[in-house]
Homo-oligomer: A and B are copies of this chain.
Amino acid sequence: MFREALEEVVRGTEGGIAALIMGFDGIAVDHYVRDDGAIDVDTIGMEYSVVLKDIQKAADMLEAGATQEVAVRAERMTTVMRLINEQYFVALAIAPTGNVGRGRYLLRTRVSAMREALE
């Protein structure tokens, strides 16, 4: 259903590896992986759905308002996650040498269409 949008985001981002839309319940709605098998997308989603919930709780306590985006830079991969609504988020995995700014931009500009489609 969202495969095309996810593919656009991954292929439009230099170093883009994979993208997925997932509920905070850990169930993936759709995903796209550039080189199949290189990455376990379901594992990404499930792990980060927990992290995002904690971040939302932390932001609430700080009265920082709703969390919009989280970027995790690790040695071998950067993950950018963006909230779609209270139930769903979209995540993009990028190689360390990739263009994170471009990935963030593509997610930001596509999230409202995703929100509408998920309603």
Contacts and interface: CB of A to CB of B under 8 A. Distances in A.
Interface of A: 39-40, 43-44, 47-48, 50-51, 54-55, 57-59, 61-77, 79
Contacts of A57: 47
A67 B64 CA distance: 23
A62 B75 contact: no
A25 B61 CA distance: 18
Q: Which of A47, A50, A61 is the most central at the interface, judged by chain B CB atoms within 10 Å of its CB? A: A47
Nearest to A74: B64
Contact of A51 (B39, B51, B69, B79): B51
Given A51-B51, A64-B79, A79-B64, A73 B73 contact: no
